[in-house]
Amino acid sequence: MSPKKTKTEIEEDAVKKKVNKMYENYGIDPTSSDDNDLSRVYRHYKDNPKQLDVDYNKSKKHADSFSDEDTL
């Protein structure tokens, strides 16, 4: 049995998932980005969840603009 995640870990995972999806919506592969760069982005959006919602919703408009081959 795996240890249960804390509330903070659950929140951090949710932010990471949403940020990664936002990057993908813009045609950017988040797995190819530097961990230090992304950790700053994750931290920013963890501290500003309303801004994450706004930016994520904006990114959804671009979700169909890129194919898998176009992902950077």
The pLDDT of residue 1: 52
How far is 56 from 4, CA to CA, in rounded Å? 28
Statement: the pTM of the whole predicted model exceeds 0.85 = no
Task: Quickly state the pLDDT bin for 37 (edges 50, 70, 90).
Answer: confident
The pLDDT of residue 2: 61
Task: Quickly state the pLDDT bin for 67 (edges 50, 70, 90).
Answer: low
Name 46's Cβ contacts closer than 8 Å, sequence gap at least 6. 11, 12, 15
The pLDDT of residue 72: 46
pLDDT digits (tens, 9 = 90+) for 12-22: 999 999 999 99
